[in-house]
Structure 1
C-alpha cells in the first residue's frame, strides 16, 4: 500500500509540474502585434513616401519578412528587402510612384518565430517626384471592397514550427510512461526484495 501511495504522489507531482510548465510556456507563445504604421492607416499624404513601416510591440525576426506596397493597378512599389531595426519593420519604395490609393501588405516572423501578417492603406494625392504615370485617386465607384490580395510567400521561407512545445510535451509523456512502467514492475507478484529468499 505504501508503494502505491508513493507512486500516486510521484505521478501527481509530475502532472502538477507539467501543468505549471505548460502554463509558463503559454504566455510566451503569444504572437506579437502591430502597434502603428507609417503612414497611418487610412491616411492621406501629399505624395507616396520614400518608405513605409510597421511598428510592433516586440522585436520581430527578419526570417521570411515581406512588405508589398501596391498601387491601385496592383503594381508593387517595394524596392529591396525589408529592414528591421528593433521593433520597426521598414520597406523602401521605388522612385516615381504614382498618385492613388495604396494597399500595404506585410508579413514578418514574430519574436516567438510564428508568422504574423496584416495590411493597411493610405492615399497619395500626387505622384512622387519623377513619376511618369498619373493615376487618379479612385472615386466611390471605382473601389473594389472585399478584394485584398494576400502577400505572396517567399519561396525559401517555411513557417516556423513550435518545436520547444513539442519537445516539452514529448518529455512529459516520456516521464509519465517511465513512472507507469516502474509502478507496474513493482506491483507484479514475485518482484521486489520482499519475495526474494
Structure 2
C-alpha cells in the first residue's frame, strides 16, 4: 500500500504545482487585442473623419488612454480626451484637417490593467471643411465618398503569442508521464516492495 500512497502524494503535488503555474501564467495571456479600426487600416477616405476608433475584444480601462492622429507634417489633430464605450475607444478630430496620409497611434490599459498599444494609417483624398490645404482632385482608382476599399493589412497590435503556456503544458504532460512510469514500475509484482515474513 505504501507505493500507492507515495504515487498519490506525488500526483497530488504535481497537480497543485501545475495549477499554481497555470494561475500565474493566465493573467499574462489575458491582454486585450485590437479587432478592428475605423477607418480601416490602410483605407482611403474622401475626407478626414470626425472620429477615429479602435474596437477591442474586451472593454479596456480609461486610465491612461491616448489616441494621436497625426498628418504628414506631424501635426496632431486629436481633440479632447479618448472616449471609451464598452469595447470601443474613440477619439474626436479637430475641424479643418488637410488631405493626405494620417497615422493613428493608440495606447490603452487592457481590462487586466496592462498597457497595450498599436497604430494604423489611412489617407484622406480631400481636406475637411475649413481646411487651408488645397483639395486633392480625385483620380482614377481613388475611393469615392461613402466607399472604403478592403483593408490592406490588419491593425497592428503589440500582443505576442504566449509561448509560455505551450511550454508549461508540455512540462506538465512530461511530469505526468514520468510519474505514471514510476508508479507502474513500483506496482509490478516482484519489484521488492512486497516481502513475506
Shorter chain as denominator, the TM-score bin is 0.5 to 0.7
RMSD between superposed Cα atoms in Å: 2.5
1:47 corresponds to 2:47: yes
Consecutive unaligned residues in structure 2, runs of 5 or more: 138-197
1:27 alignment counterpart: 26
Asked if 2 retains the 8 angstrom alpha-carbon contact of 1:100 and 1:135, the reply is: no
The CA deviation string for residues 47-88 of structure 1, in whole angstroms up to 9 with x for no partner, is: 000000000111111111100000010000000000111110
Cα distance in 1, alignment partners of residues 14 and 37 from structure 2:
44
Secondary structure of 2:18's aligned partner: helix
Q: Which deviations, in whole Å up to 9, do the C-alpha atoms of 1:8-61 show, x marking residues without a partner?
A: x87985664243033134233322110000000000000000000000111111
Output one character per residue of 1:104-136: Cα deviation in whole Å (capped at 9) or x when no partner: 000001111111110000000000011123376
Which aligned pairs between 1:148-159 and structure 2 lie closer than 5 A?
none
Alignment of 1:19-168 (within 5 A): 19-30=18-29, 31-134=31-134
Distance 1:131 1:36 in 2: 28
CA–CA separation in structure 1 for the residues paired with 2:73 and 2:131: 15
**Alignment check: 8 A CA contact 1:29 1:112 kept:** no
SS at match of 2:96: coil
Larger relative contact order, structure 1 or 2 (CA cutoff 8 Å, min sep 6) = 2
User: Scaled by the length of structure 1, what TM-score is found?
Assistant: 0.60
CA distance in 2, matches of 1:113, 1:12: 35
Structure 2 CA distance, aligned partners of 1:18 and 1:81? 45
Q: Report the more deviating stretch, 108-117 or 128-137.
A: 128-137
TM value normalised by structure 2: 0.60
Query: Aligned partners of 1:10 and 1:62: how far apart in 2?
Result: 47
> Secondary structure in 2 aligned to 1:29?
helix
Structure 1: give runs of 5+ residues left out of the alignment: 138-197
Q: 1: distance between equivalents of 2:77 and 2:134?
A: 15
Contact 2:125 2:135 in 1 (8 A): no
